[in-house]
A and B are shown apart, each in its own frame.
Chain A
């Protein structure tokens, strides 16, 4: 149990276009989902926290207009990178907290590799 999926696993887009990444909790309801960014050989950096039905909370330095997060249901959160540029190329990971499980457990998705050309 406690599986989180991400789609797509890998995406290439042209500079200036937008790309949407989906994060789904497959067998549990997630009240809170988190979005992380990971550069090569670096750690995970928290970008934003999203709660179902409310606006996401962004970390300092993360452009909310560039990284749009929507948490429309208890099983789905989306991250849209708008007007992508090569510097947005990175590995994006989501995690989800199980509303019914141990309160503080986070389950991680497999990540999405974004390449902007």
Chain B
């Protein structure tokens, strides 16, 4: 079974600074997908960024980028120029590209951006 580990239960960052959230996973698969989701107080899950394991290039979406280290099974999220609206729970997720594509989530990191 795939497991996803987020070792930082809580983090804080000053507005405009950069913060990195960690995620590691365990799998024997070679092909899979990784995601970072944001869950603000409204509890609506919002896709931040996704990475296909077969792509060596790290995904980027505006201020959000990942550091994908396949051999190390590591998938960290970097948020640049942090904004107050980035305050939320962040979940790392793993998905296999078959068997219904169900998604497994890490425990989450609560990020607080301080003014």
Interface residues of A (CB under 8 A from B): 32, 34, 38, 42-46, 49, 51, 57, 91, 93, 95, 97, 103-106, 108, 110-111
Contact (A49, B102) CB under 8 Å given A43-B108, A104-B97: yes
Question: Could you tell me the distance in whole angstroms from the C-beta of B47 to the nearest C-beta in chain A?
Answer: 8
Q: Sample 26 A-B pairs with CB under 8 A, ordered by A number.
A: A32-B100, A32-B101, A34-B102, A34-B103, A38-B43, A42-B107, A43-B91, A43-B105, A43-B107, A44-B105, A45-B105, A46-B102, A46-B103, A46-B104, A49-B100, A51-B100, A57-B100, A91-B43, A93-B45, A95-B45, A97-B101, A103-B97, A104-B33, A104-B97, A104-B101, A108-B44
**Additional pairs, 13, CB under 8 Å, beyond known A43-B108, A44-B105, A104-B101:** A34-B102, A43-B105, A43-B106, A43-B107, A44-B91, A49-B102, A51-B100, A93-B43, A103-B97, A105-B47, A108-B45, A110-B42, A110-B43
Give A57 to B102 CA distance when docked, in angstroms.
11
Q: How far is the CB of B84 from chain A (nearest CB, A)?
A: 21
Q: Which chain B residue lies CB-closest to A106?
A: B103
Residue B95 at the chain A interface, CB threshold 8 Å: yes
Q: B44 and A110: CB pair below 8 A?
A: yes
B residues in contact with A51, CB < 8 Å: 100
> Once the chains are docked, how many angstroms separate the CA of A95 from the CA of B91?
15
Bound Cα distance A44, B42 (Å): 15
Question: How far is the CB of A59 from the nearest CB of chain B, in Å?
Answer: 8
CA–CA, A46 and B103, complex, Å: 8
Q: Which one of A105, A106, A110 has the highest number of Cβ atoms from chain B below 10 Å of its Cβ?
A: A106
**Nearest residue, chain A, Cβ from B52:** A104
How far in angstroms is the closest Cβ of chain B from A71? 12
Chain B residues within 8 Å of A108, by CB: 44-45
Chain A residues contacting B105 (CB-CB under 8 Å) are 43-45
Name which of B97, B106, B108 has the most chain A CB atoms within 10 A of its CB.
B108
Name the residue on A nearest B96 (C-beta): A104
Which residues of chain A are within 8 angstroms of B47 by Cβ–Cβ distance?
A: 105
- B95: which of A42, A57, A93, A104 is its contact (CB, 8 Å)? A104
